[in-house]
């Protein structure tokens, strides 16, 4: 069982930056593909970014490409999401997830954190 704990959310003005972190309890952290998803009120959970087991491959949603960067530090059992040039439409609860296959599908990730709120004011 992998336990994931997100941190780093908060309130920021449009154009600002935040860095989210997600730390796992699992010693075999490097065995998992990691991803960030987000869910705004009244909307489905949507893919944001994913990263392969050793960080060699990353994928991004078109809406965040060029503004967000996903990275991981396997020695610290942590995955990060650096978010720059934030927009009000980025407002959502952000979740990290762990799975075995790198893709954009919610159902492919078996383990989830509790989420952290990101609010971008205009």
Confidence check: pLDDT of 25 > 90? no
Q: How many Cα atoms are found within 13 Å in the side-chain-facing hemisphere of 58?
A: 18
In the prediction, which pLDDT does 1 show?
81
* pLDDT tens, position by position, 26-80: 778 899 999 999 999 999 999 999 999 999 999 999 999 999 999 999 999 999 9
In the prediction, which pLDDT does 102 show?
82
In the prediction, which pLDDT does 27 show?
79
Distances from the Cα of 93 to the Cαs of 38, 67, 106, in angstroms?
5, 18, 15
How many residues make up the chain in this entry? 122
* pLDDT tens, position by position, 94-104: 999 999 988 89
- Residue 81 buriedness (CB in 10 A; 0-12 / 13-18 / 19+): buried
Confidence check: pLDDT of 10 > 80? yes
Alpha carbon distance 35, 21 (integer Å): 11
Per-residue confidence band for 20, with pLDDT thresholds at 50, 70 and 90: very high
């Amino acid at each position: 069982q992998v336990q994931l704990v997100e941190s780093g959310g908060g309130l920021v003005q449009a154009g600002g930056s935040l860095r989210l972190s997600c730390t796992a309890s699992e010693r075999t952290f490097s065995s998992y593909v990691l991803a960030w998803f987000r869910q705004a009120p009244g909307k489905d959970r949507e893919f944001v970014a994913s990263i392969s087991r050793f960080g060699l491959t990353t994928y991004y949603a078109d809406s965040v490409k060029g503004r967000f960067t996903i990275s991981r530090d396997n020695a610290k059992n942590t995955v990060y999401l650096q978010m720059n040039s934030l927009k009000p439409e980025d407002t959502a609860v952000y979740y990290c997830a762990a799975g075995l296959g790198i893709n954009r599908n919610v159902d492919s990730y078996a383990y989830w954190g509790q989420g952290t709120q990101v609010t971008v004011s205009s």
